[in-house]
Amino acid sequence: MHELSIILNIIEIAEQEAKNAGAASISCIELDIGSLSTIEPAAFDFAWKQGVRNSMLEQAKLVTNYIPGRGRCNYCQTVFKLKALYDPCPQCGEFLAEVIEGKELKIKSIRIEEKQTT
């Protein structure tokens, strides 16, 4: 299950940002996940619960935006929806489309809890 290693990487980045901002914990994290990335939503949710244990994201609300795939045909430049990586161009039938959207996996935003100062 490769989702867990991806998640651990996301957590590391988010924690680093939160620490830089002097935060005590992260209350919400929003992720953009391309539908052409190799992420399986159910596996991702399951791995997320494992991955955030004992991290600053343990209580964080997870918001995931699944970004639909879009490709541009290398031959006729038509931009079309990609359901899978090697979908043919609907215009000319070529298979070599450049993926312009849908492979990304990135942190869109995080919301942090300030440290309590007494």
Position 91 contacts Zn ion (CB under 5 A): yes
Question: Of residues 36-75, which lie at the interface with Zn ion (CB under 5 A)?
Answer: 73, 75
Percentages of the chain per state (helix, strand, coil), in multiples of 5: 25, 35, 40
Sheet architecture: strand order including 61-67: 61-67, 23-34, 105-114
Nearer to Zn ion among residue 57 and residue 73 (C-beta): 73
- Region near Zn ion per CB under 5 A, out of 33-41, 52-60, 90-98, 101-109: 90-98
Task: Report the C-alpha gap between 110 and 12 in whole angstroms.
Answer: 13
24 in contact with Zn ion (CB under 5 A) = no
- The DSSP 8-state label assigned to residue 96 in this structure reads -
Cβ burial of 107 (10 Å; 0-12, 13-18, 19+) is middle
**Spatial strand order in the sheet of 69-73:** 79-82, 69-73, 97-101
Please say which residue, 79 or 105, places its beta carbon nearer to Zn ion: 79
Cβ proximity to Zn ion, 68 vs 90, nearer residue: 90
Using CB under 5 A, pick the residue from 89, 101, 102, 110 that binds Zn ion.
89
| 24, 76, 96, 100: which one binds Zn ion (CB under 5 A) | 76
Q: State the minimum distance, in angstroms, from the CB of residue 93 to Zn ion.
A: 7
Instruction: List residues binding Zn ion (CB under 5 A).
Output: 73, 75-76, 78, 89, 91-92, 94
